Structure 1
Amino acid sequence: MPLRKARGHGMQSSSKKLKGGKCSHKADAIPTDFNGLHQLEGLEEVKRQLPESTSFSNNSRVTDGTEILEQAVTRLAALKPLEYEQVREVEAQRFSVRVVALDKEVERVRRELGGKEEGPHLGREITFDEPEPWPEPVNGNGLLNEVKAVFNGYLVLPPMASSILAAWTVHTYLINAAHATPYLHISSPQPQCGKSTLLDLLEALVYRSFKFASASPSAIFRVIEEHHPTLLIDEADSFLKENEDLRGILNDGYKPNGSVLRTVSINNEHQVRAFSTWGAKAIAGIGNLPTTIADRSIEITLKRKLPTEKTKRLRLRTIGKELLPLRRRIVRWVEDNKEAIAKAEPLIPDELSNRREEVWETLFAIADCAGGDWPKVMRQIAGQQNTSSGDQPAELQLLADILSVFEDKQIDRIFSNELVDALIEMEDRPWGEWRRGKPITSNLLSKLLKPFKIKAKQVWISPKNRNGYLKTDFDDAYIRYVGFQRSRTLKAPSGKNYSHFQNSRGNEARESHKPPESALDEGSRVLEFQSPEFEGKSK
């Protein structure tokens, strides 16, 4: 900002008289801002010139000599960043406050102004389009089949994946009626398998889509609290595993009461506030998710497309317009049926655990309401996902593998080192390369079993007495965590034939450990389900 000549000698002077008649030469000592003027001429000259400054906007003027600090902060908050930088030190000294304190107060007022200033340094506002409902009632069976066809048209998908995607897409519009939301885990063994294309399709179809590849945990829970969007998280493998705060948001955000607590400043007082983490989320990345998040997810594993496999080309500039009519039909069907779906108590296959039951319940309700083959198909998919060995945490697989060792060797006790050797010999198991390519050890085995309260003890196997385990040490863990019905979902090692619940003593098996016949038979047949009656306008 241009400054007037200083009183007494003018701004063009290159020297200034000091006490004792000495002269301090300063070549080209011409102040270009108030900070420079303060250094050369002192605070009184700054005060004299500041009220008369006309280079700032009207909001920055001091109209009289009695401006209070609060008025000054409001005036300074209206300045552009570089303008504020020029005067911040002088203004802080004028009101006898620290510069850092003034900066904080100016920043607070700027936030209260609501972002009236626009520019690239402020990013862009987050907005969502809300499609109008279709004018006529929509058939649910036909709607899900139409959504399914969209995914099959643009992607080469594994069996049943398009059915999952269709029901999951519709569920994003029903998030306020859901009791839990299943996360969608989109994985692949290598890049270029279609994850980004699938996310682009979801972005064009789901409710309030918000796609990103990197974000701070605070940004995520704040956008959830304000907008409740459908989060589409790409490249999760690059930042999720090392981010404990983000994992915490995902762990808790699959239920409506999911939230995080943060301290915020309100009216200059620190208050603890809850921010929602609840909402639909699709997570794409290479490899596996952390166990706690995987347990809340439905997985779709993509493979790289072969040259002989043809799909439609996805054009980002037009796909939104092309799919808008379909979105409008989804909105209409949801409006007509959301109350019935919210009240529904769909039949749950017995083999699903409590967590998996929560994950699938809303999709079952949507399928039942849509009718057709969807109720049967959705439960078949749930059963297949439940029997996938990849869904089982390593600790549960370890319990099953240890049991197989006892059964294969027909023993009721084993030394720790012999159990470790037997685990390492299982070719299709991770125990041979458990940690950084090195095999599992007795100490690592002990750590994995510690949460189950299973500890090594002195075991006598004639003629030696060493650290080891009794088969009965594992009984409680087998029943509680592997379970009669879930035990059949754990994959047996290649070439091994065993029954998880056959006691090594044959007919002497205790009755309390014998599974009911229905638990053994149920896995070999497909259960038939009848759709309950819904009060929606269309099915």
Structure 2
Amino acid sequence: MSKNDHISLPELADKQSADSIKKPVILQDDQLSENTSDDIDKPSSVILPHADLKISSDLAQATIDRLATLSELEYELERTETAKSLNNMSVRSLDKLVKKVRNKIESETSESLIIDTEPYSEPVLDITSVADQICQILDDHIACKDAVKFAATLWILMTWLIPASHILPIAWINAPEKRCGKSTLLTLMSRLSKRSLPTSNITGPALFRSIESYKPTLFIDEVDTFINESEGLQGILNAGHSRDNPYIIRCVGDDNEPLAFNVFGAKAISGIGKIPGTLIDRSIPMTLRRKMKSETKKRVRDLPVDITNTIQSKLARWSDDNLMVIKAAKPVLPLYINDRAQDNWEILLKIAMILGDDWLEKAHNACIEISGIESDEPSLSEQLLADIQTVFNLHETDRLLSKHLLAGLCKDPEMIWSTLNHGKPITLHQIAKRLSEFSISSKCMRALDSYGKEVRGRGYDINDFQDAFSRYLS
């Protein structure tokens, strides 16, 4: 080595260091596996699973439950990546599952709309005295016939015995005019019934969702103001009458997926005037009257809450202890009322049977009185049949042309047909449509006009009415 090639020790150390940087030691694969290790608590395979690792249903459900608690923004930031981690689930499917859990959470947090009653601490051995107390409360606050008080009392007890009921009649609280106590009776019944949910107005979707979610006893005030304009609402109320057909089908969600909703439940409605005939047929009418100036009734707001709460508590305990007894009861149904009325009153008569002979007699008489009043009110089609029979008898003929029948119906001022259509007379088409319900139709014929002259045209033969007259007017 020449003099010029001499390198000092410090320079040599620096050169070796530089060489070590330029030429790092490269370990073989087997050396790498032997000398490297993770310094974290869990292996990376747990934190970053392999592509073919399947997520368990429990872990997936826990993830969905957590997502349902996030804000809208937080969920949007996570939904895509989380869907991939859940075995490459579609984001759309994840949205549906999260929404379902959110709806369940909202339903559980909304239970404050319904109050569950704590059963009485001791068995209720004298349920008759509780029924008598309820009846007295109704008498103290409402001007009505005894039959209505008895029916309302038994209906209140029925709300605590839904599992024992196959038919749940609607309580139809009505009056001819305002200030007859309809809202007062509705309020009293709601304070004594099970899981009461009062409202002054409700839409069809809100109705079936409320029944499905809360299983309430529903109290709808002023139903006459909107029920006739909502066929959907009528259908839901009709469907909730019997266990035989308790479901309605509605399309819900962004995909309009058809779902079944169980709308079987107890309902009380109040209003002035008439409601659709299909609802009346499923109801127990409770008609009120305005109190006289000499009559004095108490105010509902003065009724102590402790009294109604104690009654509810006793009914809760008694119904728990006697549900099967009520279900097994076999009362004798009045023969003088129609089949639908018998269905409506059966559960009330079962309850009255357990209350004792005195209450059974009260219930039996109330059933005949209320159902008798209801049955005296014919439907519009039945009224048309009766008036057509009258027109045939007045003309003393077996055949009438359609135009002559129409003239006869509209001629009598005591009949409703001259002003049926908002002050205008009924039409031939309307007559034909209603008569078709009884399988009666017009036909070409010869008949006599009002002058005794034979004329030709479409008309009706009285012989085609005989079956309907026998079935509906006798």
Q: Could you tell me which residue of structure 1 aligns to residue 462 of structure 2?
A: 471
5 Å-filtered alignment, 1:122-141, equals 125-133=112-120, 135-141=122-128
Q: Could you tell me which residue of structure 1 aligns to residue 216 of structure 2?
A: 229
TM-score by length of 2: 0.73
Taking the aligned partners of 1:286 and 1:75, their CA distance within structure 2 comes to 50
AA aligned to 2:409 is L
Displacement of 1:73: 9.9
Contact 2:216–2:265, Cα closer than 8 Å, also in 1: yes
Q: Does 1:302 align with 2:288?
A: yes
Stretch of structure 1 that moved more, 299-308 or 364-373:
299-308
Deviations 1:352-410 (A, max 9, x none): 22222211111122222222333333233333333336643211122223223334554
1:450 to 409, 420, 436: 436
Contact 2:168–2:266, Cα closer than 8 Å, also in 1: yes
Taking the aligned partners of 1:305 and 1:92, their CA distance within structure 2 comes to 64
Deviations 1:98-129 (A, max 9, x none): xxx989977963652567799xxx97743322
Q: Could you tell me which residue of structure 2 aligns to residue 433 of structure 1?
A: 419
Q: Could you tell me which residue of structure 2 aligns to residue 184 of structure 1?
A: 171
5 Å-filtered alignment, 1:120-199, equals 125-133=112-120, 135-199=122-186
Taking the aligned partners of 1:364 and 1:117, their CA distance within structure 2 comes to 39
Q: Does 1:480 align with 2:471?
A: yes
Contact 1:213–1:236, Cα closer than 8 Å, also in 2: yes
Displacement of 1:204: 0.5
Q: Does 1:329 align with 2:318?
A: no
Taking the aligned partners of 1:134 and 1:124, their CA distance within structure 2 comes to 24
1:419 to 405, 408, 424: 405
AA aligned to 2:423 is G
AA aligned to 1:314 is V
Matched residue pairs, number? 406
Displacement of 1:210: 0.9
Cα 1:411–1:148 change in 2 (3 A) is farther
Q: Could you tell me which residue of structure 2 aligns to residue 386 of structure 1?
A: 371
Taking the aligned partners of 1:437 and 1:229, their CA distance within structure 2 comes to 42
Q: In structure 2, the residue corresponding to 1:452 is in which secondary structure?
A: coil
Displacement of 1:327: 2.2
Q: Does 1:260 align with 2:248?
A: yes
Question: RMSD over aligned Cα, in angstroms?
Answer: 3.8
TM-score by length of 1: 0.65
Taking the aligned partners of 1:248 and 1:434, their CA distance within structure 2 comes to 25
Identity of aligned residues (%): 31
Taking the aligned partners of 2:68 and 2:343, their CA distance within structure 1 comes to 49
Q: In structure 1, the residue corresponding to 2:447 is in which secondary structure?
A: strand
Displacement of 1:230: 0.8
AA aligned to 2:165 is A
Contact 1:77–1:107, Cα closer than 8 Å, also in 2: no
AA aligned to 1:384 is E
AA aligned to 2:391 is V
Displacement of 1:190: 3.5
Cα 1:161–1:271 change in 2 (3 A) is same
Taking the aligned partners of 1:137 and 1:75, their CA distance within structure 2 comes to 45
Cα 1:140–1:481 change in 2 (3 A) is farther
More helix per residue:
2
Contact 1:194–1:302, Cα closer than 8 Å, also in 2: yes
Larger Rg: 1 or 2?
A: 2
Q: Could you tell me which residue of structure 1 aligns to residue 16 of structure 2?
A: none
AA aligned to 1:471 is I
AA aligned to 1:394 is L
Contact 2:220–2:270, Cα closer than 8 Å, also in 1: yes
Q: Could you tell me which residue of structure 1 aligns to residue 25 of structure 2?
A: none
Displacement of 1:74: 8.9
5 Å-filtered alignment, 1:106-117, equals 109=98, 112-113=101-102
Deviations 1:441-487 (A, max 9, x none): 333211211111111222423523343322211112223344xxxx3
Q: Which ranges of structure 2 fall in alignment gaps of 5 or more residues?
A: 1-46, 48-59, 83-89
Q: Does 1:241 align with 2:228?
A: yes
Taking the aligned partners of 2:256 and 2:403, their CA distance within structure 1 comes to 56
AA aligned to 2:463 is T
Cα 1:465–1:140 change in 2 (3 A) is farther
Q: In structure 2, the residue corresponding to 1:315 is in which secondary structure?
A: helix
Q: Does 1:287 align with 2:273?
A: yes
Contact 1:139–1:333, Cα closer than 8 Å, also in 2: no
Contact 1:141–1:372, Cα closer than 8 Å, also in 2: no
Cα 1:437–1:114 change in 2 (3 A) is closer
Taking the aligned partners of 1:379 and 1:474, their CA distance within structure 2 comes to 36
Deviations 1:299-355 (A, max 9, x none): 122333444321111117x64322122223333443444323212332222232222
Q: Could you tell me which residue of structure 1 aligns to residue 361 of structure 2?
A: 376
Contact 1:341–1:369, Cα closer than 8 Å, also in 2: yes
Q: Which ranges of structure 1 fall in alignment gaps of 5 or more residues?
A: 1-63, 65-69, 96-100, 488-539
